[in-house]
Amino acid sequence: MTKDTRFTLTAIELDEKSVGRRTREVEQERDIAIYDLLESNSFAPVGSPGGPYRLILSIEENRLVFDVRLEDGSEHGKVMLSLTPFRRVVKDYFLVCESYFKAIRTAPPSQIETLDMARRGVHNEGSQLLSDRLSGKIEVDTDTARRLFTLISVLHLKG
């Protein structure tokens, strides 16, 4: 079965004005998420005849903005979501990530594995929340939601 390329992202941009300073590890997470998203994703704005799409993610007035454009850059539509439901899970995600990145340097493998499992659990929670909040607006598969959650977490970080 051939994948329908009309419902995919071909470019992703984070509005750098929305983001504060990031650690090397956070930059690496962002870069991996973007690379993986562009390699494989399913992104279907409800009611759209298809793309492919370019996505600009930003934060405006306590809202997460999905600025969806067509491949030529022309406007296709915006989806805005309140950031409030994401605050706790993003905070938890970065706390566990911070612990995980520190542990990688010195902790025994069992502790690293425990922290990695916790990190994945919180990440799954965040990506499910994102899927739920996008429902009826933009349909995404599980892997796309996971990678978008990583990018949202990076946007959510301030200084």
**24-41: per-residue pLDDT in tens?**
777 788 888 899 999 999
pLDDT, mean over the chain? 87
Q: Which of 2-6, 45-49, 113-117 comes out lowest in average pLDDT?
A: 2-6
% of residues, the chain, pLDDT over 90: 48
Please count the structural domains in the chain.
1
| Model pLDDT, residue 22 | 63
| Model pLDDT, residue 157 | 58
Higher pLDDT, 1 or 92: 92
CA distance 128 to 123: 9
Question: pTM for the whole thing?
Answer: 0.86
- Is the four-CA dihedral 90, 17, 102, 29 of positive or negative sign? positive
Q: Residue 110: which domain range?
A: 5-156
| Model pLDDT, residue 3 | 61
Residue 89, exposed/middle/buried by CB under 10 A (0-12, 13-18, 19+)? buried
Average pLDDT over residues 116-123: 91
H-helix or E-strand spanning residue 3: none
Please give the span between the terminal C-alpha atoms of the chain, in angstroms, as a whole number. Answer: 45
Average pLDDT over residues 86-94: 90
Confidence at 2, pLDDT banded by 50, 70, 90: very low
Confidence at 133, pLDDT banded by 50, 70, 90: very high
| Model pLDDT, residue 36 | 92
| Model pLDDT, residue 135 | 95
| Model pLDDT, residue 1 | 38
CA distance 100 to 105: 9
Strands 53-60 and 9-14: parallel
